[in-house]
């Protein structure tokens, strides 16, 4: 029998037809939408005079532009308000489930999908957002699409896609103290670069990956796009099933048993081949931080910013432009750099486990005076748990400001912007120029490192702060 990878198994099961010398007609099980990348798709449907083919396969929530304070009031920003109102109107007209602002399951689309058990192994999932790769943690093929493709899914539940090449990244061993899944993925991206997996779909494997919780696996799959990969996935196992069991949209009773037995088949066959393989050792990974303007520009917090040795031409120019933006010099240590803001949140690290890690670290401590600390839960459910578990009290006593759920300062579409020239250490996913506000300087790190930075006021090693 043909040896197949996990990715092959899920992909091949969703191809309705292959176009000769062209893409596959690829069926989509679940479609997530939000207010920013869907309105033009709905508008074009109307222009064509067609509707949504399978509205029950689409789930909506407003997350990108929403304010994180006073969510019960009318949105002040006119354009944001219009986008959210348009989403409501479109969902109503087309019979799409909407988890609206203020409702029990409102939140970042990539946080609520798994939380509700909508995301399941073996599915194909798309959304007009590149961090859709998050859902790959469940052994689903999940990736971001453009608005034209959002329109295709509305109209036909399919998109035209050429099958990407396959890459496996194996991380073996045991993570050291103070090292988290965020450090694993920042380490991988720093090794293979921000474009190193372009054209590929990644499977993450190995004992270090298998040892992770679902939340931690989501952090890894989430950032697959930051090395150019269309997505990343992890074979489902007992951890996956345990997480899903009892979730609102998870199968129940006999259906659950049947689903689990099918999901257990979702793994790469022994002897199946990949187009590219990387192997890393967990013991080599230390707490990481980025120093530049793409997520591949990462070093260990105790490391030095690379020099320009061996660089030339546009490569060197681009590198120096990036360091100039950040206000850093080649060769200098990153540790000890003063920081102005910390941000805990986003679809990368805005889940309950992340909030717990930060609260656990800052308990009984105070943030440094020079730090403004924002903590934005990924969903209403996360917010609720944080209150119930007493985490909010701990965080507020430490001087953190707790906001309401949304994408927030990860992309600063709302008012949560880092001022120009200021340094933010952030649990989010992108350190691009201006990502957190025009002129903002972003350094990406784990929730643990961010918590330590909040306390010391400067870049530090979380293993040295107690």
Partner 1 sequence: MAYDKFNVLTSTVVPLPTENVDTDQIIPARFLKATEREGFGDNLFRDWRYDVEGNPKKDFVLNDPTYSGKILIAGKNFGSGSSREHAVWAIYDYGFRCVVSSFFADIFKNNCLNIGVLPVTVSAEFAEVIFSAVEADPSTEVEVDIDKQTITLLSTGQSESFDINAYKKENMKNGFDDIDYLLNLREEIVEFEKARR
Point out the annotated binding site. Answer: 347, 407, 410
The vertex-283 CA angle with 282 and 288, nearest 5°, equals 75
Count, residues near partner 1 per rule CB under 8 A: 75
Identify which of 197, 152, 140 has the alpha carbon closest to the alpha carbon of residue 14: 140
Q: Which is nearer to partner 1, 197 or 359 (CB)?
A: 197
Give yes or no for residue 39 binding partner 1 (CB under 8 A).
yes
H or E element in which residue 253 lies? helix 253-263
Distance CA 246, CA 383 (A): 20
Distance CA 404, CA 406 (A): 7
| Shortest Å distance, C-beta 322 to partner 1 | 8
- For residue 35, what is the DSSP state? T
Q: Which is nearer to partner 1, 196 or 287 (CB)?
A: 196
Q: Which is nearer to partner 1, 215 or 416 (CB)?
A: 416
Q: Which is nearer to partner 1, 220 or 413 (CB)?
A: 413
For the segment 275-294, give every residue that binds partner 1 (CB under 8 A). Answer: 293-294
Q: Which is nearer to partner 1, 412 or 445 (CB)?
A: 412
Give yes or no for residue 74 binding partner 1 (CB under 8 A).
no
Identify which of 415, 418, 427 has the alpha carbon closest to the alpha carbon of residue 71: 415
Site string for partner 1, 415-434 (x = CB under 8 A): -----x---------x-xxx
Stretch that binds partner 1, among 12-20, 180-188, 268-276, 350-358 (CB under 8 A): 12-20
Alpha helices per DSSP H over 157-213? 181-192, 207-210
The vertex-369 CA angle with 368 and 372, nearest 5°, equals 85
Give yes or no for residue 203 binding partner 1 (CB under 8 A).
no
For the segment 305-334, give every residue that binds partner 1 (CB under 8 A). Answer: 314-315, 317-318, 321
Identify which of 117, 201, 120, 124 has the alpha carbon closest to the alpha carbon of residue 158: 124
The CA–CA distances, whole Å, from 289 to 76, 210, 322, 459 equal: 35, 24, 15, 9
| Contact call for residues 167 and 202 (beta carbons, < 8 A) | yes
For the segment 146-175, give every residue that binds partner 1 (CB under 8 A). Answer: 146-149, 151-152, 155-160, 162, 164
Give yes or no for residue 93 binding partner 1 (CB under 8 A).
no
Give yes or no for residue 267 binding partner 1 (CB under 8 A).
no
Stretch that binds partner 1, among 45-53, 241-249, 269-277, 450-458 (CB under 8 A): 45-53
| Shortest Å distance, C-beta 412 to partner 1 | 6
The CA–CA distances, whole Å, from 398 to 244, 354, 360, 369 equal: 33, 16, 11, 11
- Taking CB under 8 A as the criterion, the residue among 27, 241, 278, 328 binding partner 1 is 27
């Amino acid at each position: 029998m043909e040896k197949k990878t996990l990715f092959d198994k899920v992909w091949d099961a969703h191809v309705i037809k292959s176009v000769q010398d062209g893409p596959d007609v690829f069926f989509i099980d679940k479609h997530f939408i939000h207010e920013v990348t869907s309105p033009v798709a709905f508008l074009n449907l109307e222009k064509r005079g067609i509707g949504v083919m399978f509205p029950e396969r689409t789930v909506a929530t407003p997350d990108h532009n929403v304010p994180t304070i006073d969510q019960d009031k009318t949105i002040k920003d006119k354009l944001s308000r219009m986008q959210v109102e348009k989403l409501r109107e479109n969902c109503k007209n087309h019979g799409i489930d909407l988890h609206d602002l203020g409702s029990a399951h409102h939140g970042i689309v990539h946080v609520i999908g798994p939380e509700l058990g909508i995301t399941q192994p073996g599915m194909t999932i798309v959304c007009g957002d590149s961090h859709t790769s998050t859902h790959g943690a469940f052994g689903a093929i999940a990736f971001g699409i453009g608005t034209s493709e959002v329109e295709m899914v509305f109209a036909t539940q399919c998109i035209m896609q050429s099958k990407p090449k396959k890459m496996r990244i194996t991380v073996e061993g045991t993570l050291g103290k103070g090292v988290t899944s965020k450090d694993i993925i920042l380490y991988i991206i720093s090794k293979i670069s921000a474009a190193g997996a372009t054209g590929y779909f990644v499977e993450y494997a190995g004992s270090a990956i298998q040892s992770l919780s679902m939340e931690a696996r989501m952090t890894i799959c989430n950032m697959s796009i930051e090395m150019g990969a269309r997505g990343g996935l992890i074979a489902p196992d007992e951890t996956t099933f345990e997480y899903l069991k009892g979730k609102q949209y998870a199968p129940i009773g006999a259906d659950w048993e049947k689903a689990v037995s099918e999901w257990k088949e979702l793994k790469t066959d022994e002897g199946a081949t990949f187009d590219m393989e990387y192997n890393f050792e967990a013991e080599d990974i230390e707490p990481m931080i980025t120093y530049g303007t793409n997520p591949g520009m990462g070093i260990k917090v105790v490391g030095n910013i690379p020099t320009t040795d061996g660089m030339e031409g546009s490569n060197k120019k681009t590198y120096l432009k990036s360091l100039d933006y950040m206000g850093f010099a080649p060769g200098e240590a990153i540790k000890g750099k003063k920081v102005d803001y910390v941000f805990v949140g986003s679809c990368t690290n805005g889940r309950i486990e992340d909030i717990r890690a930060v609260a656990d670290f800052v308990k009984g401590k105070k943030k440094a005076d020079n730090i403004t600390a924002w903590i934005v839960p990924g969903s209403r459910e996360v917010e609720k748990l944080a209150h119930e578990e007493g985490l909010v009290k701990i965080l507020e006593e430490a001087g953190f400001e707790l906001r309401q759920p949304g994408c927030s300062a990860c992309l600063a579409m709302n008012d949560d912007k880092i001022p120009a020239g200021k340094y933010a250490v952030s649990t989010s996913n992108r350190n691009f120029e201006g990502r957190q506000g025009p002129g903002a300087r972003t350094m990406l790190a784990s929730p643990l490192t961010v918590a330590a930075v909040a306390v010391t006021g400067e870049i530090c090693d979380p293993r040295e702060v107690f």
